[in-house]
Amino acid sequence: MTLPALDRHSAVPLYYQIQQHLLGQIRSGALKPGEPVPSELELSAGLRISRMTARQALKSLCELGVAYSRRGKGTFVSEMKLERNFRQALSFSEEMQARGSKPRSRVLSFEVTDATPDVAKALRLPHGEKVVSLRRVRLADSSPMGIEWSRLPLQLCPDLLRSFDPRGSLYQALQERYGIRIAVTEEVVEASVAGAGEAKLLGIRRSAPIFAFTRTSYVRGGQPVEYVKSTYRGDRYKLVNRLTRPDGGSAGED
C-alpha cells in the first residue's frame, strides 16, 4: 500500500489530498473491491497526521459511497460499481455531454409571463409575479429527446431575456451571470403516452410511451430557482437511480 505524498503548504486540505489519493488507488485497481483501505492508525502514523484527519479522509470516502466502515474490522472498498452513471441533478446539456452526445435546442418560446398558480406555488412567489418562461425541444446529436418548459422568477435573473442565448445551457448562464448554483432538484416522474402535439415535436407516433417530469430546483439554502415541466421519449431515455435505505444502521450482520 503506497501512501500519498502530502503537500502541507497547499491550500488543498490534507484529508482531501488523502481522499483523492485513495480514490485514485481504487479507480486504478490497486485497491480492489472488498479489500481494506489503510486504517486510521496506519494513515496517521504513516503520514504524520493526527488520527482525526485520517478519519476525516476515510469518512469522506464512505460518504462518496466507494468504501464502508465496520467498527472493530476496518474500512473496505465497496463492491458496488462506482460508475458515475447514477442520476444527479444535471442539466440537459451536462447529461448529454456526459453521454458523449452533443446537446442542442430548438427554441419554441422565450418570454416573460405571469406565474400561473402551480408555478407561483412551486417557486414560492406571490400571485401574479412575473417569471421568465422558456420552451425548448431538446436534441441529442440533432435527434429530438424531449420537450422542456422552464419557468424562473424574473427577479432572480432580471435581464435573462436580453443576455441569454436560449439555445445554450441555462444552468451555465445562471451561474456565470448571477452566481446562482443549483444544489438540489426535486422531481416527480410519471409514465404516460404522447399526445398529438408532443408526438409531432418529438418525432414519435401518438400514444408512444413517454416520461413526464415535474421538477423544482433549489440553491443550497432551499430557495427555489427553476420550475420545469418536461416530456421525454420513452424509447430514448432511461432513469438510472441509486436508492439508499432509511437506516443503514450499525447493527451487525455479516
Partner DNA sequence: AAGTGGTCTAGACCACTCG
Partner DNA sequence: GAGTGGTCTAGACCACTTG
**Of residues 163 and 223, the one with the C-beta less far from a second copy:** 223
- Separation between Cα atoms, residue 170 and residue 151, nearest integer Å: 11
Binding piece for a second copy, criterion CB under 8 A, among 21-29, 73-81, 133-141, 162-170: 73-81
* Site for DNA contains 78 (CB under 7 A): no
HEC secondary structure over 144-184? EEEEEEEEEEHHHCCCHHHHCCCCCCHHHHHHHHHCCCCCE
Binding piece for DNA, criterion CB under 7 A, among 27-35, 39-47, 90-98, 181-189: 39-47
- Separation between Cα atoms, residue 216 and residue 226, nearest integer Å: 6
As measured in angstroms, the least distance from the Cβ of 17 to DNA is: 7
Nearest residue to 5 (alpha-carbon basis) of 24, 18, 15, 16: 18
Residues 1, 27, 32, 50: which binds DNA (CB under 7 A)?
A: 50
* Site for DNA contains 170 (CB under 7 A): no
Select from DNA, a second copy, none the partner in contact with residue 239, using the beta carbon and a kind-dependent cut-off of 5 to 8 Å.
a second copy
- Separation between Cα atoms, residue 12 and residue 5, nearest integer Å: 13
Nearest residue to 75 (alpha-carbon basis) of 89, 93, 62: 62
**Of residues 100 and 253, the one with the C-beta less far from a second copy:** 253
Binding track over 205-244 against a second copy, x by CB under 8 A = --x-xxx------xxxxxx----------x--xxxxxxxx
Nearest residue to 240 (alpha-carbon basis) of 67, 83, 80: 83
186: enclosing H helix or E strand: strand 184-193
Binding track over 103-122 against a second copy, x by CB under 8 A = --------------------
Q: Summarize as ranges the residues that interact with DNA (CB under 7 A).
A: 13-16, 39-42, 48-53, 55-56, 58-59, 69-75, 250, 252, 254
